[in-house]
């Protein structure tokens, strides 16, 4: 039984919400995955009179398509969409039946206006927390536009296909047979890749803001909400709303919530911000900051310039890279940064984890349950992770821990085939043959765009005082891009609210600005 009674109970509630008849067309054989898929499809059919099942032959077996009566929608699930993709299945059923997707009306119109044949295929793993966002976005587009088709492909089921195409990271989306994009993508981001995002002309008529937040992570969202609640004109410009938590798996230290996932929290943050009168400018990257007279100007990559009386920088941080030959060349082709997302693609293979802190050791422990062998490399002479994690690590027979190891090169042809490192104790070069490398060595603040305008320390972190203020009057900063001692979601949120309250107080104490 692939669905337990509790899950069936939840499913029954959703199936009652179906609006019109659905046809599920199934392509199956006698393999185990096909049997599980048939059990799932037959369960769906038995629970709703609006679902009809028929056999057919699709491009991949096992797979099934979800269609309107007498009309193919182009939505196909190749594999069994359980795990993280179970929600994708439910949403596809509801939306194909006629329930409107929950996206902005302007996005709906932009999707409907696409006038070319677009055949998307997305390779996923069922343990990937990021993958459902891409699958659901492309399914929505397929529902809304008959010229768009989308197939979700479970890489663990179609492993030969994944290996042939050298896919070593998920989600990995293809358009008409060509690589389209890797990692998290929303409907808005997909449309931007297809037809481009807003140009500078769309920002020309914007009046100056009272408070402009740069960054859409937990700190930026918190700052924007606090600003809007003060009743001042607030804007938020973000490269991608949600920030780094979009790449975070399970979150268990967000007080008041026992457990959640990064993408889920990111969606909740965006929904919360949208409850207020905040001008959200997503998919926009800041390029420079300049104080001019009474306003602070933020330049954007598209050439636009935004003006504000106060600015809060909350641009967060990104994965630190090791900057050795092969890392960039084999990114998403054996070099990965998310063990939860990409680990299943290396099932039965040998991999390495670079970094002996908590993140690295946790990654090694998780990967040991999937892969043939894990080698974890730490630059210093001792592992830095918590003792409880190290005890668990050392209990695993298929894990080798190496200290005093300086990675010098990641080797490969089309994909990774090995890693070289310098043994710092013996000063000898060593080489390991393997299929994947997971880099887990911390974070780098996203502050390069500031240049010398805002004071930063030697690590690139923005220097702030107890009120979140920088060295420039009216400019504040919050979260992982600053020199606060701890980088946590909850501390970023607190720092964002602090910076916002401080910026509000600054405006009140500048009567000449308030009048403008």
Query: Alpha helices, DSSP H only, in 275-318?
Result: none
Secondary structure, 3-state, 131-163:
HHHHHHHHHHHHHHCCCEEEEEEECCCCHHHHH
Q: Which of 466, 503, 505 has its CA nearest to residue 209?
A: 503
Looking only at the bridges linking them, the beta strands covering 475-477 and 311-313 are: parallel
pLDDT of residue 333: 84
Q: Which residue has the higher pLDDT, 27 or 245?
A: 27
So what's the pLDDT on residue 109? 96
515 pLDDT more than 70? no
Residue 248 pLDDT > 80, yes or no?
A: no
* Domain range summary for the chain, segments of one domain joined by +: 5-195, 205-318+444-514, 335-439
Is 3.50.50.60 the CATH classification of the domain at 335-439? Answer: yes
**How confident is the model over 193-221, as pLDDT tens digits?**
999 888 888 898 899 999 999 999 999 99
For 205-318+444-514, which CATH superfamily applies?
A: FAD/NAD(P)-binding domain (3.50.50.60)
Q: How far does Cα 57 stand from its chain's mean position? A: 34
Confidence of residue 514 (pLDDT cuts 50, 70, 90): low
Work out the pLDDT band at 229, boundaries 50, 70, 90: very high
pLDDT for position 148: 98
Cα–Cα distance measured from residue 443 to residue 76, given in angstroms and rounded to the nearest whole number: 37
User: Would the pLDDT of 252 be above 90?
Assistant: no
| Fold match between domain 5-195 and domain 335-439 | no
Residue 253 has pLDDT above 90, yes or no: no
CA 261 to chain CA centroid, nearest Å = 11
pLDDT band at 343 (very low <50, low <70, confident <90, very high): confident
Residues paired with residue 44 on neighbouring β-strands, in sequence order: none
Q: pLDDT band at 21, cuts 50/70/90?
A: very high
Task: Look up the pTM and report it.
Answer: 0.81
Q: Encode pLDDT of 146-201 as tens digits.
A: 999 999 999 999 999 998 898 888 999 999 999 999 888 999 999 999 998 888 88
Average pLDDT along the chain: 94
pLDDT of residue 127 exceeding 70: yes
What is the model's pLDDT at position 516? 57
Q: Is the pLDDT of residue 9 over 90?
A: no
> What integer is the mean pLDDT of 78-106?
95
Name the more confident of 396 and 516.
396
Rounded Cα distance between 88 and 13, Å, is 16
Q: Extract the runs of DSSP E, i.e. beta strands, from 178-283.
A: 178-182, 211-214, 234-238, 250-251, 260-261, 278-282
Whether residue 223 is predicted with pLDDT greater than 70 in this model: the reply is yes
Count the neighbouring beta carbons within 10 Å of the beta carbon of residue 102: 9
Spatial distance between the Cα atoms of 329 and 324, rounded to a whole number of angstroms: 10
| 326: region left, alpha or beta (phi > 0 left; psi from -120 to 50 alpha) | left
CATH architecture observed for domain 5-195: 3-Layer(aba) Sandwich (3.40)
d(CA 287, CA 96): 41
Q: What is the pLDDT of residue 166?
A: 84
Return the pLDDT at 513: 63
Number of other CB atoms surrounding residue 140 within 10 Å:
25
What whole-number distance in Å separates Cα of residue 250 and Cα of residue 252?
6
Reported as a pLDDT band with limits 50, 70 and 90, residue 10 is confident
Mean pLDDT along residues 460-464: 97
Q: Cα–Cα distance between 423 and 257 in angstroms, integer?
A: 43
pLDDT by residue (tens digit) across 274-317?
A: 999 999 999 999 999 999 988 999 999 999 999 999 999 999 99
Question: What pLDDT is recorded for position 341?
Answer: 75
pLDDT at residue 400, rounded to an integer: 97
Rounded mean pLDDT, 503-513: 86
Q: What is the DSSP string of 52-102?
A: EEEE---SSSSEEEEEETTEEEEEEEES---GGGHHHHHHHHHHHHTPPPS
**Beta-carbon contacts of residue 233 (< 8 Å; ≥ 6 apart):** 207, 208, 209, 210, 211, 279
In the sheet that holds 475-477, the strands lie side by side as: 278-282, 234-238, 211-214, 311-313, 475-477
Question: What is the secondary structure of 342-410 as a DSSP string?
Answer: HGGGGTTSEEEEE--SHHHHHHHHHHHTTSSEEEEE-SSSS--S-HHHHHHHHT-TTEEEE-SEEEEEE
> Model confidence at 1, in pLDDT bands (50, 70, 90)?
low
Top-confidence residue, 261 or 117: 117
Mean pLDDT of 61-86: 95
């Amino acid at each position: 039984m692939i669905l337990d009674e509790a899950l069936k109970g939840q499913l029954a509630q959703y199936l009652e919400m179906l609006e019109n008849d659905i046809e599920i067309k199934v392509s199956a054989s006698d393999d185990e995955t096909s049997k599980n898929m048939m059990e799932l499809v037959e369960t769906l059919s038995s629970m709703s009179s609006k679902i009809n099942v028929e056999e057919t032959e699709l491009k991949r077996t096992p797979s099934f398509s979800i269609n309107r009566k007498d009309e193919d929608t182009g939505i196909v699930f190749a594999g069994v969409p359980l795990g993280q993709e179970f929600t994708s299945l439910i949403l596809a059923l509801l939306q194909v039946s006629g329930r409107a997707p929950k996206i902005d009306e302007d996005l709906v119109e932009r999707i409907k206006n696409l006038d070319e044949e677009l055949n998307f295929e997305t390779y996923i793993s069922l343990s990937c927390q990021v993958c459902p966002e891409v699958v659901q976005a492309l399914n929505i587009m397929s529902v809304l536009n008959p010229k768009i088709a989308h197939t979700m492909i479970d890489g663990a089921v179609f492993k030969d296909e994944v290996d042939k195409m050298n896919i070593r990271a998920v989600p990995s989306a293809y358009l008409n047979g060509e690589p389209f994009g890797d990692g998290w993508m929303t409907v808005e981001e997909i449309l931007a890749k297809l037809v481009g995002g807003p140009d500078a002309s769309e920002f020309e008529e914007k009046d100056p803001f009272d408070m402009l937040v740069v960054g859409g992570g937990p700190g930026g969202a918190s700052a924007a909400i606090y600003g809007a609640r003060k009743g001042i004109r607030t804007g938020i410009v973000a490269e991608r709303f949600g920030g780094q938590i979009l790449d975070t798996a399970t979150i268990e230290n967000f007080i008041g919530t026992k457990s959640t996932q990064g993408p889920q929290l990111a969606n909740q943050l965006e929904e919360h911000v949208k409850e207020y009168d905040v001008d959200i400018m997503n998919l926009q990257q800041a390029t420079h900051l300049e104080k001019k007279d009474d306003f602070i100007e933020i330049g954007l990559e598209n050439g636009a310039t935004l003006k504000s009386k106060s600015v809060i920088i909350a641009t967060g941080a990104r994965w630190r890279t090791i900057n050795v030959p092969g890392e960039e060349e084999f990114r998403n082709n054996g070099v990965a940064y998310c063990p939860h997302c990409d680990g299943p693609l290396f099932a039965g293979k040998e991999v390495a984890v670079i970094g002996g802190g908590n993140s690295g050791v946790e990654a090694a422990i998780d990967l040991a349950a999937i892969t043939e062998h894990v080698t974890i490399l730490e630059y210093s002479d001792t592992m830095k992770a918590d003792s409880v994690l190290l005890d668990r690590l050392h209990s695993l027979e298929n894990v080798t821990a190496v200290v005093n190891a300086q990675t010098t090169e990641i080797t490969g042809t089309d994909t990774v085939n090995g890693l070289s490192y310098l043994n710092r104790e013996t000063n000898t070069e060593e080489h390991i043959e393997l299929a994947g490398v997971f880099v887990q060595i911390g974070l780098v603040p996203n502050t390069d765009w500031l240049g010398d305008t805002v004071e930063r320390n030697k690590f690139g972190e923005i220097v702030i005082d107890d009120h979140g203020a920088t060295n420039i009057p009216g400019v504040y900063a919050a979260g992982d891009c600053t020199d606060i001692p701890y980088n946590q979601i909850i501390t970023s949120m607190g720092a964002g609210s602090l910076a916002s309250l401080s910026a509000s107080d600054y405006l009140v104490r500048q009567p000449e600005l308030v009048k403008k």
